[in-house]
């Protein structure tokens, strides 16, 4: 796997690590930049983006940055820096918005902040599955190769079930699904699959 990552992915990795280190020195930044639920009295619009650069521990950031390293460079080379940046932040914003909706109108949770790049990372995973559907990947709990399309569908289904039934509390399952949803809609738009089409078709 190449170490010379393309610039946007490299800068995202640096930014995430830098913010995580800042959190260790100034824990109070969580109050301002985590994604606080609507109705908490702490929500601010910039948190829809800023929460995606904060993490809850070494394991949390290590998992997300490993996934960003594994998938981000490939997707950036395929999309190009500009469209990759648009894609990444679209996934992050949709993930945050869906998380806010679920916490406010379904979970009725006004106290639990959300942090992490997972929503955007799940969008990258979705893009990898759509653009390289037959590439072989491994699921950590089932160490056998499977096509990327099956891995992505299976992981998405697991996140949906976990979110609905309450498995693995403390994990923002619907933010993960929001990242995948945002990525899917944007890719399909770039492919010209909606009535409102881009000026030119960007992806096959």
pLDDT for 140: 62
pLDDT (0 to 100) of residue 2: 45
Number of domains in the chain: 1
Report the CATH number that the domain containing residue 57 is assigned in CATH.
Answer: 1.20.1540.10
- Residue 142 is predicted with a pLDDT of 64
199 located within any domain: no
Nearest to 49 by CA among 125, 121, 117: 117
Query: Do 115 and 101 form a contact (C-beta atoms < 8 A)?
Result: no
Quote the tokens at residue 182.
């945002």
Q: Is residue 204 part of a domain?
A: no
Quote the pLDDT of residue 170. Answer: 86
Confidence category of residue 203, pLDDT binned at 50, 70, 90: confident
On whether residue 97 sits in a domain, the answer given is: yes
Query: Taking residues 39-63, what's their average pLDDT?
Result: 96
Range(s) of the domain holding residue 72? 7-134+172-190
| Dmax (CA) of the chain | 49
Q: Does residue 167 lie in a domain region? A: no
How much is the pTM? 0.93
Q: pLDDT value at position 3?
A: 63
Residue 112 lies in a domain: yes
Residue matched to tokens 């930044």: 29
* Residue 6 token pair: 């393309």
């Amino acid at each position: 796997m190449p170490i010379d990552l393309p610039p946007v992915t490299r800068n995202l990795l640096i930014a995430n690590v830098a913010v995580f280190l800042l959190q260790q020195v100034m824990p109070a930044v969580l109050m301002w930049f985590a994604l606080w639920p609507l109705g908490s009295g702490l929500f601010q619009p910039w948190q829809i983006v800023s929460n995606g650069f904060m993490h809850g521990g070494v394991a949390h950031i290590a998992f997300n940055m490993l996934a960003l390293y594994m998938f981000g460079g490939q997707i950036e080379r395929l999309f190009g820096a500009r469209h990759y940046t648009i894609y990444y932040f679209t996934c992050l914003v949709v993930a945050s918005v869906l998380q806010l909706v679920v916490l406010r109108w379904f979970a009725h949770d006004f106290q639990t902040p959300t942090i992490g790049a997972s929503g955007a990372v799940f969008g990258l995973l979705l893009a990898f599955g759509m653009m390289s559907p037959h590439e072989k990947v491994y699921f950590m709990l089932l160490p056998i190769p499977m096509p990327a399309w099956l891995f992505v569908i299976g992981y998405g289904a697991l996140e949906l079930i976990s979110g609905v039934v309450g498995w693995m509390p403390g994990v923002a399952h619907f933010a993960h699904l929001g990242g995948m949803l945002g990525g899917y809609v944007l890719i399909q738009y770039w492919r010209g699959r909606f009535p409102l089409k881009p000026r030119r078709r960007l992806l096959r």
